[in-house]
Amino acid sequence: MNYKNQLGALALIFLLFSCEESGSERPLGVYDTGVLIMNEGAFGTNDGEVFHLDPATGEMKENIFEAENNRPFAGLLEDIVIEEDRVYLVANTGKVEIVNPGDFKSIGAVIGDLDQPRSLATSRGKLFISDYGPYDADYNTPDSYVAVVSSLDGGVVKKKIEVSNKPEDLFAVGKYVFVAGSEEGKIEIIDAETETITKTIEVSGKPAQFFEARGDLWVYSYDANMIYFQSFHLDNLTKQNSQEMPLANATSRIALDEEDRIYILTSSGWPDYSDGITIFSLFESIFIPDWKTGSGFYGIGYDLQREEIYVTNSNGFQGNGSVTVYSKDGTEVTNMEVGRGPSGFLFR
Amino acid sequence: MTLLFWVFSVFGLVPEQDTVSLEQVEVYAPALDRFAQGQKLINFESKVLESYSARSLAELLQEQSPVFIRQYGAGMLASPSFRGTSAGHTAIFWNGLPINSPSLGQSDLSILPLEAIDQAQLHFGSSGALFGNEAIGGSLHLNSKTDFGKGFEGKIAQTVGSFGLFNTALSGGFSSNKFSSKTRVYRQFALNDFSFRDISRPGSPEVNEDHAQTEQRGMVQDLAWNISDKSQLKAAFWWNKAEREIQPVMGSNTVDHQSDESFRAVLDYFRFGTGSVWNLKAGWVQDKMIFNESLNETRQFFAATDWDFAKGNSWQFKAGLRATFIQGDLSTYSTTDQRVELYQSGRWTASEDLSLSLNLRQFAYLDNLVPFLPGIGGDWKFWDSDSQQLLLKASVGKGFKIPTLNDQFWSPGGNPNLLPEESVSGEIGLNWLKKGGFSWDQSLTYYRMQVDNWIIWLPQGSVWSPENIREVQNQGIEYQGKANWKIGGIKWDLGLSYTFSEALDLTSEPANPRQLPYTPKHQANGNLSAEYAGVVLNLGSFFVGQRAIGTGNARILDSYQIWNAGLQFSDLKWGNTRFPLSFQVLNLLDKDYQVLYLRAMPGRSYQFNLTIHL
C-alpha cells in the first residue's frame, strides 16, 4: 500500500466530515471506517483478497471483495489506492478492479492490455498505472510502461508511456505524475495532459515509495547498505533536499507516523532471514535500528488515529498470514490471523 | 456421504496374466507382483486401458483409482497425490526404469500418454525397499507387453472430439516364436477452446479458453529376441514431445509456452537357469523442458543387474544392484549426481495359503547414505471354499525421497544441506473374492503413514528456498469392489470405490493439525456397464471432496462429482478386420468445477473413436 493512501484517506475523512455538516454527502459505508488489510495471495493461485478490521471491536470481515461482489478477486493484490472516491485494487497478475469505498461493490475494471501492474494514480480524470511490462527470456522487464486509461471507472488502456525498468509507486501532483523507476534509480515525471514524460530525475538507490511530509513531496529509496530520501521542488521539478543513512537490508516497505517518523522494514533475506523494523526521522535526529526484530515480516502500516504500528507476517505463503499490532512504545497490542500473504493496509 | 455409494466403477484387482509361458511370466512380472506381499495393488485391465487410450493417464487414475490428481487445467500439468502425499511422493516406472525427472522429482501425468504403454499397475504405500527413491505414497508401473508367435498385427485408431480434439495412433507389429517387434506412433492434439465462466471478470462472463492448446507426438519401439532357450534380449524406446500453451489461472493473462521432450530407452538381457533368472539392464532417460525460452535438461543413465532364484519349493530370492548417473543442465545451474543402490528381496511361501516377503535396500547418493530400508509383508488366505475366499494382507515398509536436483542446487535458493524425506507406512487389508453367477471381488484396506523431513519451498525475503520442515501423519481407508453378473443375456459389471484419506500437517499448527492443502478427505468413483451382443453401455462417475487451497484456515474449494457415459460397439467386423466404434460423453451434466483454485476445467464434451484392428 502507498503511504499517500493514508493521506488520501485522511483527506477523504475530513472531506466527509465537512460534507456531512452540509448534509449533501452519502452516509458512511461499512468500509469507510476501520482498516482494510491487503492480502497479496500466493503466486500461481491468484487468491489475493481484502479483509476488513474494526479495530474498536476487533471484528474481522474476510474476503470482502468476494463477499460484496459474489466472485473472487482472482489476482495477486499488489496495491490498494484510494483516490477520487474510488478504491483501486491493483493486481500484478494483470488487472485493476475498481470498487466503491463504502460498500466495496464493483464499479469497473481495467482488464486486458496490462502485464504486471504495480500501482496507480489519478490525474486530470485519467488513470495512470505503473506496469513492469512482460518478462523477457531472462526474466528482465525491458518494456516497462505507465498505462493511461481515460476514465476513472476503468476501461481500455489508451496509451502506454514507456518508462525505465520496473516502475513502482506513482504520485500525482496537479498535472504531474511522478513515477518511481525502481531498477534504474530514476524519477520520471509524466505530464498528465500530454501523456508524455516531461522530466527525468536521477536519484540514489531504488526509488520505492513517495510520501508527503511537512508540505514537501519526498521519495524513499534504498539499496543493500543505505536508505535515501529525496524531496522535490514542485514548481520547477528539480531536486530539493536529500538525506541518506547507512542501513543494511532495507526493503521497499515503510510507514509514517503523525510525527513524520518513518518505520522501515528490513529483511536480511535468504539464507539467514532475520527481519526488523528501523525508525528514522527526516526532521529529528532519530535513528533506531532494529526497533523490533523477528522473522517473516512482510508488510507494515501505521494507524494515525490510534497511533499503532501494524506488522504482517506472511508465514511462508503456505496458508494464512498474521498481523501483529504494536503501540508506539513497542508493546504488542494484539495479534490476528488474516489472509494469505498480508502485505499492507489502508487505514480509513 | 450416501451419495458416494451411488457411483460405480470397474477395477482390475486381479493381475492380468501375460500370454507367454509360465516361467517367463515370472520374469516379466515386475517385482511388485512377486515380493509385494501384504501390499495393495491395482492392475488395470487391458480393456480399461484401451477405453482410455485417447485420454490421459491422469484421467485414468482420477476416475479409476484412489489417487487424487492435481490438474492445472485441461491437458495441463497433472500430478498425483497418493494417500495424501505430494506429487514427488509417487515413483513412476516405465519398463522398470524410474522416469521421474531428477530435477523436479516428479512426473507430469498429462504427458505420459496411455497410447504408449500396454500395462499399468498401481502399488500402494511406502516401499523404498522394493522400488527405491520416491516410493512414499505409492508407485506407478507402466510397461510394454511382449508378444511372441502372433504374426502380423496392426491397428489404426482415430479419435475426434469437442474442443478440437484430434488423436491419431498407428501401430504395427510382427512376432514369430523367436522375434517380436512392435512400433507405434501417435499424435494427440487438442485446441482446448472450451467455454467457461470467467469469475475473475466483472459480470463473470462466459468466455472461451484461448491459450490451452496441446499437441503431443510420440513413437514407441518394442523389440524382443529369444536368442536361445536360455537367453532373451528385450529393448524398448520411447520418444515423446509435448507442446503446450500453458492455460493461465483465471485473473492472469500469462501466455506461457512449455515444450517437453523425452527420450527413454531400456535394454534388458535375461539369462534363464534352472529356477533362476539373471537380468542385466541398461537404461537412458533424457528430459528436455523449455518453458518460454528457459531450457532445462536432464539425462539419466542406469546400469543394473539382478539375480532371481528359487531355493526349494518355498523360497524365492532376488538380489541386485543399480547405479544411476545423472547430468543436469538446468537454466540456473549444472550438476551431476551418482546413485548406487543395493537391494535384496526374499519370499517364503509357507503353505498354499500363507506367504511372507522381506525386502531390503541400501541407497547412496553423492556423499550421503540413506538409512537402511526394510519392508516386510504377508498374505494369508485364511478361508477358502469352492466359491469364496478371504485373504488378509498386512505389511510395513519405509520409503524415502532424496532431495531433487532443484532442491539442492537451484540458483538462487537451492539448499545442499537438505536431508532425504522419510516415511514409514503400514497397512492391513482384507480381500473377499466370490466366484459364480454373481461374482465379486472386494477389498478394504486401512493404512497409516508418517512422513518426516518433508521438503517445502519457503520464501526467504525475495528468494524461495527449500527446507526439511514438514511432518505429516496420514491415515485412511480404501474400499474397492467390483461385481459382475448376467441376466437375460446381458452382462453387467459394477465397480465401486471409496477412499477416506486424512493427511494431517503436524508442522503449521501442531496443537491443531489440519488436512494438507489440496488433499480431499473423501473420494469415490464408480462405473456400471451393461453388455449385450458386443454393444456396451457404460455410465461412470467420480466424486472429489472439499479441499483447502493452503494450510490452516485457508479457502475451501467445493467438492464435485462428474459423470461420464459411453456407448461401444466392440464386435463390428468386416472379414477378419475388427473395427470397434465408441462414443463417449464426458462431464455429462456439464458441471462447472475447479480441481485447483481458479483453474478452469471443460464442461460437457464428446468423443468419437474408431479403431481398426488389422
Domain ranges in chain B?
2-613
| Whether B461 contacts chain A with CB within 8 A | yes
So what's the pLDDT on residue B490? 96
Q: For residue A150, give the CATH number of its domain.
A: 2.130.10.10
Residues of B in contact with A74 (CB under 8 A): 199-200, 249-251, 598
Within a domain: A91: yes
The answer to whether the beta carbons of residues A16 and A28 sit under 8 Å apart is yes
Residues in chain B, pLDDT under 50: 1-27
Within a domain: A115: yes
| Listed range (A54-68, A222-236, B453-467) with the worst mean pLDDT | B453-467
Using pLDDT thresholds of 50, 70 and 90, give the confidence band for residue A271: low
User: Nearest by CB to A47, which of B462, B465, B555?
Assistant: B555
Within a domain: A97: yes
Its ipTM equals 0.85
Architecture label for domain B2-613: Beta Barrel (2.40)
Beta carbons of A73 and B251 less than 8 Å apart: yes
| Whether B332 contacts chain A with CB within 8 A | no
Question: What does the alpha-carbon distance between residue B565 and residue B590 come to, in Å, rounded to a whole number?
Answer: 12
Question: What does the alpha-carbon distance between residue B349 and residue A308 come to, in Å, rounded to a whole number?
Answer: 73
So what's the pLDDT on residue B8? 30
Residues of A in contact with B293 (CB under 8 A): 137
| Whether A268 contacts chain B with CB within 8 A | yes
CA distances to A73, A107, A190, A215, A253 from A90, in Å: 10, 14, 20, 27, 17
| Whether B149 contacts chain A with CB within 8 A | no
The answer to whether the beta carbons of residues A344 and A323 sit under 8 Å apart is no
Choose between B271 and A271: higher pLDDT.
B271
| Whether B253 contacts chain A with CB within 8 A | yes
| Burial group, residue A344, by CB count within 10 angstroms (0-12, 13-18, 19+) | buried
The residue segments making up the domain with residue A122 are 3-35+61-246
Is the sign of the CA dihedral B389, B390, B395, B399 positive or negative? positive
| Listed range (A14-28, A285-299, B349-363, B460-474) with the worst mean pLDDT | A14-28
Using pLDDT thresholds of 50, 70 and 90, give the confidence band for residue A8: very low
The contacts found for B310-314 with CB under 8 angstroms, 24 or more apart, are: B310/B275, B310/B276, B313/B349, B314/B348, B314/B349, B314/B350
DSSP summary character for residue B114? G
So what's the pLDDT on residue B11? 30
Residues of B in contact with A320 (CB under 8 A): 550-554
Residues of B in contact with A71 (CB under 8 A): 199-200, 204
User: Nearest by CB to A71, which of B199, B462, B597?
Assistant: B199
Residues of A in contact with B598 (CB under 8 A): 45-47, 72, 74
So what's the pLDDT on residue A123? 96
Measured torsion, CA atoms of residues B353, B475, B466, B409, in degrees rounded to the nearest 10: 10
Helices (H), B40-134: 46-51, 57-64, 128-131
Q: Which of B280, B357, B287 has the alpha carbon at shortest distance from B37?
A: B357
Q: How many domains does chain A have?
A: 1
Beta carbons of A46 and B598 less than 8 Å apart: yes
Question: What does the alpha-carbon distance between residue B188 and residue B208 come to, in Å, rounded to a whole number?
Answer: 21
Chain B, nearest residue to A139 by Cα: B294
So what's the pLDDT on residue A310? 97
So what's the pLDDT on residue A137? 78
So what's the pLDDT on residue B373? 87
Location of C-alpha cell 524410474: B98
Q: Could you tell me the three cell numbers for B367?
A: 556423499
Choose between B214 and A136: higher pLDDT.
B214
So what's the pLDDT on residue A269? 67
So what's the pLDDT on residue A272? 66
Residue length of chain B: 614
The answer to whether the beta carbons of residues B415 and B448 sit under 8 Å apart is no
The answer to whether the beta carbons of residues B387 and B424 sit under 8 Å apart is no
| Burial group, residue B263, by CB count within 10 angstroms (0-12, 13-18, 19+) | middle
Question: What does the alpha-carbon distance between residue B243 and residue B195 come to, in Å, rounded to a whole number?
Answer: 21
User: Nearest by CB to B553, which of A47, A268, A337?
Assistant: A337
Q: Which of A139, A122, A123, A141 has the alpha carbon at shortest distance from A131?
A: A141
Residues of A in contact with B463 (CB under 8 A): 269-270
What's the whole-model pTM score?
0.89
Q: Which of A302, A249, A305 has the alpha carbon at shortest distance from A278?
A: A249
Within a domain: A168: yes
Mutate to test the interface with A, among B294, B460, B468, B509 (most CBs of A within 10 A): B460
Closest-CA distance, B109 to chain A, in angstroms, reads 20
| Whether A270 contacts chain B with CB within 8 A | yes
| Burial group, residue B169, by CB count within 10 angstroms (0-12, 13-18, 19+) | buried
Within a domain: A73: yes
Choose between B504 and A14: higher pLDDT.
B504
Q: Which of B31, B28, B15, B132 has the alpha carbon at shortest distance from B346?
A: B31
So what's the pLDDT on residue B412? 86
Beta carbons of A47 and B201 less than 8 Å apart: no
Residues of B in contact with A97 (CB under 8 A): 202
